[in-house]
């Protein structure tokens, strides 16, 4: 039976790998669109595009891998039923319990990878991606003074535009700065400018031969002031020392275990539920793929995708209920995970006597 196990395992691995490649191609397109939107709005410099793309893909892995595992098993088992290989295997006594031998070496490592991504890699990638953007926003020489682009200032309180700059980023030409503060706006233009540092924190743009307009936001009053200057030092936002990312999605799992907030508990239950749901869906794929020899297999795939989407939507809904206090924290997402696991194992072993497929 070792030859049969190797054959079935190879079929499962090939199908899972093929499904994963297709889903990764779709995911790369969606992640690339998100990263391009951030670059277009000035949230990050263009040089960080590929690093941010990779980190976004890591963050999406807990959602992509369970679907790839389920679709791969559905494709492999559907082909075995379509080519009448499963009735032949049933005639020699190969049922679901016997299939556990080649199935578990495929399912368990994938579930372990999903758990690793959900509990550690995805929060790390989210935290590291935001840390890269934050560090870039601290240093104007790195973050975005790119010629011909409007770059958002740290804190989202204004924009900077430069028409041209030197290779080392120290001198600029055709500078435009728009800032908002306390209900008033400040527009500064200059034909030339340089960057200089005052100590370790304060940064200034030294502008020459320009104009500055200061006035209220909106057209309620005419309280405007126009200033023509020969030299003007414009203070840029300070470098803050806030290296702590307080977003729940970026917190380490060990931190969430010690936290008492409902939002932290909801995020913790979400991370724990992902590998368990992946295990349940992979076990459901075996009985779900059962079909007559000449029946099309793609209907089963649609059913599997709908089941996956339903499970993910219920998880998101349960997470929102935990955040809002509609369900107790002690219940978590177990009301979904445990029944789904019981249904998966019950459906798998109930389909055990494949010899009853006499039609």
How confident is the model over 265-320, as pLDDT tens digits? 888 999 999 999 999 999 998 888 876 656 665 667 888 889 999 999 999 999 99
Helices and strands (H and E) in the chain: how many: 9, 6
pLDDT at 359: 46
**Residues facing 177 on adjacent strands:** 160, 188
pLDDT at 48: 78
DSSP for residue 143: T
Pairing, β 158-165 against β 171-181: antiparallel
pLDDT at 276: 95
Strands (E), the chain: 150-152, 158-165, 171-181, 184-198, 202-216, 225-235
The string of DSSP codes covering 235-247 is: EPPPPP-------
Contact 268, 257 (CB under 8 A): yes
pLDDT at 109: 94
pLDDT at 68: 93
Angstrom distance (rounded) from CA 241 to CA 358? 72
pLDDT at 358: 47
Residue 39: count of CB within 10 angstroms of its CB: 19
Contact 70, 12 (CB under 8 A): no
The pair of structure tokens assigned to 190 is: 């200059």
Which residue is associated with the tokens 């459906």? 347
DSSP for residue 118: I
Q: Within its chain, how far is the Cα of 86 from the centroid?
A: 38
Segments of the chain with pLDDT less than 70:
1, 40-46, 135-146, 153-156, 168-170, 197-203, 219-220, 236-246, 291-299, 351-359
Provide the whole-model pTM.
0.72
Name, in order, each residue with C-beta under 8 angstroms of 71's C-beta and a sequence gap of 6 or more.
15, 16, 19, 23, 301, 304, 305
DSSP for residue 355: G
The pair of structure tokens assigned to 214 is: 């200061």
| Nearest residue to 75 (alpha-carbon basis) of 352, 280, 282 | 282
The pair of structure tokens assigned to 328 is: 């107790």
Angstrom distance (rounded) from CA 83 to CA 77? 10
């Amino acid at each position: 039976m070792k030859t049969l196990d190797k054959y079935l395992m190879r079929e499962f691995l090939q199908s899972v790998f093929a499904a994963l490649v297709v889903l990764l191609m779709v995911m790369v397109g969606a992640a690339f669109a998100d990263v391009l939107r951030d670059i277009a709005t000035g949230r990050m410099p263009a040089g960080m595009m590929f690093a941010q793309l990779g980190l976004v893909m890591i963050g999406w892995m807990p959602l992509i891998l369970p679907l790839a595992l389920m679709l791969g098993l559905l494709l492999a088992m559907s082909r075995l039923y379509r080519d009448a290989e499963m009735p032949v295997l049933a005639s020699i006594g190969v049922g679901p319990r016997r299939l556990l031998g080649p199935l578990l070496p495929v399912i368990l490592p994938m579930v372990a990878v999903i758990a690793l991504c959900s509990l550690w890699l995805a929060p790390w990638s989210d935290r590291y991606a935001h840390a890269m953007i934050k560090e870039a926003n601290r240093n104007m020489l790195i973050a975005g003074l790119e010629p011909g682009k409007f770059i958002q200032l740290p804190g989202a309180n204004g924009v900077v535009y430069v028409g041209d700059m030197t290779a080392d980023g120290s001198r600029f030409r055709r500078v435009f700065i728009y800032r908002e503060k306390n209900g008033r706006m400040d527009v500064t233009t200059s034909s030339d400018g340089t960057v200089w540092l005052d100590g370790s924190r304060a940064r200034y743009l030294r502008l020459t031969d320009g104009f500055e307009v200061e006035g209220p936001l909106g057209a309620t009053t005419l309280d405007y002031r126009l200033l023509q200057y020969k030299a003007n030092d414009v203070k840029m936002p300070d470098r803050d020392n806030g290296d702590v990312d307080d977003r729940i999605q970026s917190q380490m799992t060990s931190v969430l275990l010690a936290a008492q907030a409902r939002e932290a508990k909801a995020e913790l239950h979400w991370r724990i539920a992902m590998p368990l749901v992946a295990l349940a869906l992979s076990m459901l794929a075996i009985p779900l793929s059962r079909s007559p020899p000449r029946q099309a297999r793609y209907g089963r795939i649609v059913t599997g995708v709908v089941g996956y989407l339903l499970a993910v939507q219920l998880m998101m809904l349960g997470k929102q209920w935990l955040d809002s206090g509609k369900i107790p924290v002690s219940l978590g997402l177990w009301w979904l995970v445990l029944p789904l696991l019981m249904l998966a194992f019950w459906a798998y072993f109930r389909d055990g006597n494949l010899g009853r497929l006499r039609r």
